[in-house]
Homo-oligomer: A and B are copies of this chain.
Amino acid sequence: MLYRRIRNLREDHDMKQREVASFLNCSQQVYSNYELGQRDIPTETLIKLSQLYNVSVDYILEISNNPEISKM
């Protein structure tokens, strides 16, 4: 599966792959493979990306078009 949204989110935040990889504690190559859908994103990484961009995981995974994390 292709993770288009993490690429778009990164670009919207004017971040380089290298910077996001550093935040995630992974290599740029591994991060690049996430964006290309060549490597599954581990759950903990999905959560970190959600925190980095302050968007819901449902938005990252294209389950929802609403980036807001629902509060209750």
Interface of A is mostly: loop
In the bound complex, how far is the Cα of B42 from the Cα of A56, in angstroms? 17
In the bound complex, how far is the Cα of B46 from the Cα of A66, in angstroms? 18
Q: Which of the four size classes fits the interface of chain A?
A: 20 to 34
A47 neighbours in B (Cβ, 8 Å): 61, 63
Contact A43 B40 (CB under 8 A): yes
- The copy count of this chain in the complex is 2
- Decide if A44 is an interface residue (CB 8 Å cutoff): yes
Q: Would you give the shortest CB distance from A72 to chain B, in whole angstroms?
A: 4
Identify the A interface with B (CB < 8 A).
1, 40-44, 46-47, 50, 56-58, 61, 63-66, 68-72
Contact of A50 among B43, B63, B68 (CB under 8 A): B63
